[in-house]
Chains A and B, each alone.
Chain A
Amino acid sequence: MSLLIDFGLTLLLTIRDVIPIVALIFFFQLVVFRASIPRLPHVLVGLVFVILGLSMFLIGLERALFPVGEAMARQLSDPDFITHLSGKEDLLEWTDYGWIYLFAATIGFATTIAEPSLVAVAIKAQEVSAGTIDRQGLRIVVAVGVAFGIGLGTFRIVSGTPLYLYILVGYIIVIIQTIYAPRQVIALAYDSGGVTTSTVTVPIVAALGIGLAKSVPGRDPAIDGFGLIAFASLFPIISVLAYAQYTDYRSRKKIPRPQQS
């Protein structure tokens, strides 16, 4: 019964989110362009799919994955639990948080694979590149970037090193890569950074960051708890560019060079 009420509420919230977008589009189609919407019944059914699907997706996440994911993030970052695992009395060092880094990286990878916005961008990329970019491959490369980013981000919280240093170095890497990477993937790589942090990833990752900042002595959750999401959007850019550079390098090596006389 509570499931039904939850579902109804989420459905209403999703509809409220979608209404401004639908209103804007209908206004432009009917008033500005004075054109009817092609295949209207088809599009309407599709919109119902989107709203229904998104609501079910969110309800399922809230019922099943978020409570478990957040509870695990709390449990793993609990100081008692960490001292128990490391067998030390006190004075934990950054090496004692190994399970946290692993959890952060693997959960970052896993939630990115399930991120619906990334599915959308990957489908478009495969379509537009006439199949040269494989949609599953792109998602895996992006997820690896997120995994590395969140792993590193938890290390930053534990070690207490300043956030902006990591971001600055990350940006500099992106700028250098942009100079050498094949031109076709640059925009796509930048976009991959923006879509990784959406419905699935943000709640679990935020819980992990704030939980960790609370449990590590000397950290302020208000200042150190944030920033993990920034890591999750920066490192996929690096991984996508790096993968493109790698395939570009390999394909260039395969083509035999013309003999010099």
Chain B
Amino acid sequence: MPRAPAVPARNIKSVVAGFNNTFFRATATGRILLIVVVRLRDAVVDLLPIVLVIGFFQAVVIREPLPQVGDVLIGSLFVVVGLSLFVQGLETALFPIGENLAEALARKGSLAWLMIFSFALGFATTVAEPSLIAVAAESAEIAAGSGLIDTSEESQKGYAMGLRLFVAVSVGLAIVIGVFRILKGYPIHYLIIGGYCLVMVMTMFAPKQIIGIAYDAGGVTTSTVTVPLVTALGVGLATVIRGRNPLVDGFGLIAMASLLPMVFVMLYGLLVFS
């Protein structure tokens, strides 16, 4: 259901407290200004811990002046403005898109299309993910260094590409399984605990060089644009389908998308190295 951009209700009170309310409440410009102020303030608060930690260690432990203070200040300003814009875009674009799709998919009532969409969403958002590309290349170097694959550039590239495709397929499958679970209302913990047991068993058999990367692969597959969309899709489906609770059933897609790549990377190691 499309909604007007809501002013975050709890924050208004504290910000407006000092102002005369009429301007901010009554006029369109006032409302927009208010949103901008609230978003910027939230972003500053979000960034504050990093600034404090870096400042403390620089001043107390390392005891050297911060290099390039100017760059750091400009960079921080960018982070604050960027984070504010992103959160606003989250609520006006990514969440509504995800919810709309969930509703449209449920209304169409075709299991095949729902599964195709879920797989495509998982695959498409993962295969070009920059952090996955970096991890795959690094893994190829390690494998070549340990003599598990040929050291030539070609074989390293082939290995990295294979790993990326394997991970992307696993994320696509993870979303498919996760969406199927929402439809059927299976409890998530059977899937996750079963998955963990599988990870533990595979850890015993997988080559040592792939284990660290396999564990990390689970973390790098969920990007900043994917997470809001996938979350909105899951929660949206659980809201639309009768008998499902959005809190109990709607979450869990991200967890699946971080678990299955671990299994698949270890499987890849087993297949390629033996």
- Residues of chain A touching chain B, judged by Cβ–Cβ distance below 8 Å, are 3, 13, 16-18, 20-21, 24-25, 28-29, 32-33, 35, 37-39, 42-65, 67-69, 71-72, 75-76, 85, 99, 103, 106-107, 109-111, 113-114, 116-117, 119-121, 123-125, 128-129, 163-164, 167-168, 171, 174-175, 178, 183-188, 190-191, 193-199, 202, 222-227, 229-230, 232-233
Residues of chain A with a CB closer than 8 A to B199's CB: 171
Bitwise, B38-67 to A at CB < 8 A (1) or not (0) is 000000001101101110111001100011
Given contacts A64-B73, A191-B251, contact A110 B50 (CB under 8 A): yes
- Min CB distance, B98 to chain A, in Å? 9
Is there contact, CB below 8 Å, between A197 and B225? no
B121 touching A21, Cβ below 8 Å: yes
Whether A117 pairs with B49 at a CB distance below 8 angstroms is no
Contact of B220 with A202 in the complex, beta carbons under 8 Å: yes
Whether A109 lies near B49 (C-beta < 8 A) is: yes
| Residue among A33, A56, A195, A227 making CB contact with B85, cutoff 8 Å | A56
Contact residues in B for A186 (Cβ distance below 8 Å): 187-189, 248
Q: State how many residues of chain B have any CB contact under 8 Å with chain A.
A: 106
Q: How far is the CA of A65 from the CA of B66 in the complex (A)?
A: 12
Q: Does B166 contact A (CB under 8 A)?
A: no
Q: Are B200 and A47 in contact (CB under 8 A)?
A: no
Kindly provide the distance from the CB of B173 to the nearest chain A CB, expressed in whole angstroms. Answer: 15
Chain B 113-130 interface 0/1 with A at a Cβ cutoff of 8 Å (1 = within): 100010011001100111
Q: Is the CB of A202 within 8 A of B131?
A: yes
Kindly state the separation between the CA atoms of A116 and B249 in the bound complex, as whole angstroms: 23
* Nearest-neighbor residue (CB-CB) of A203 within chain B: B131
* Residues from chain B with Cβ under 8 Å of A175 in the complex: 193, 196
Given known pairs A17-B128, A121-B231, the reply for A60 and B46 (CB within 8 Å) is no
The answer to whether B224 and A54 have CB atoms under 8 Å apart is: yes
Closest CB in chain B relative to A215 CB, distance in Å = 15
Contact B85 A191 (CB under 8 A): no
Q: Is the interface of A mostly helix, strand, loop or mixed?
A: helix
Residues 53-89 of chain B, each 1 if its beta carbon lies under 8 Å from chain A, else 0: 1101110011000111001111111111111111111
Q: Are A46 and B49 in contact (CB under 8 A)?
A: no
Q: What's the nearest-Cβ distance from chain A to residue B270, in Å?
A: 16
- Measured between beta carbons, the chain B residues less than 8 angstroms from A114 are 46-47, 49-50, 79, 83
Q: What are 30 A-B pairs at a CB distance below 8 A? A: A13-B130, A17-B223, A33-B104, A39-B96, A46-B91, A49-B92, A50-B94, A53-B88, A56-B81, A64-B79, A65-B76, A72-B54, A103-B53, A120-B95, A121-B254, A123-B91, A163-B211, A184-B247, A184-B248, A187-B251, A187-B255, A188-B247, A190-B254, A193-B258, A195-B222, A198-B222, A199-B223, A226-B212, A227-B212, A230-B215
Question: CB distance B222 to A222 under 8 Å?
Answer: no
B253 to chain A: which residues have CB within 8 Å?
191
Q: Is B192 positioned at the interface, with any CB of A under 8 Å from its CB?
A: yes
Are B247's CB and A129's CB within 8 A? yes
Contact call A195/B211, Cβ cutoff below 8 A: no
Known: A20-B128, A57-B83, A222-B141. 17 other contacts (CB 8 A): A20-B124, A21-B121, A21-B226, A29-B101, A32-B113, A38-B2, A65-B50, A72-B54, A110-B50, A121-B231, A121-B254, A163-B212, A187-B250, A226-B212, A227-B216, A230-B212, A230-B215
B54, closest chain A residue (CB): A68
Q: In the complex, what residue of chain A is closest to B81 when comparing beta carbons? A: A56
Residues on B with C-beta less than 8 A from A47 are: 89, 93
Which residue on chain A has the smallest CB distance to residue B203? A164
Contact A199 B255 (CB under 8 A): no
Judged by a CB distance under 8 angstroms, whether B149 is at the interface is no
A190 near B84 with CB under 8 A, answer no
B82 touches A128 (CB 8 A): no
- Smallest CB–CB gap between A231 and chain B, Å? 9
Closest CB pairs A-B (n = 9)? A64-B75, A46-B93, A53-B85, A226-B212, A60-B78, A49-B89, A56-B82, A57-B82, A46-B92
Interchain CB contact (< 8 A) of B212 among A64, A110, A223: A223
Contact among A116, A117, A190, A224 for B255, CB-based, below 8 A:
A190
Given contacts A21-B226, A76-B57, contact A233 B81 (CB under 8 A): no
Minimal Cβ-Cβ distance residue in B for A3: B74
Closest to B178 in A: A187
Shortest CB-to-CB span from A245 to chain B, Å, is 14
Q: Determine if B229 is an interface residue (Cβ-Cβ < 8 Å).
A: yes
- B120/A24 in contact, CB under 8 A: yes
Contacts of B193 in A (CB 8 A): 175, 178
Give every chain A residue within 8 A of B131 (Cβ-Cβ). 202
Residues of chain B within 8 A (CB-CB) of A48 are 89
Q: Is the CB–CB distance between A233 and B258 below 8 Å?
A: yes
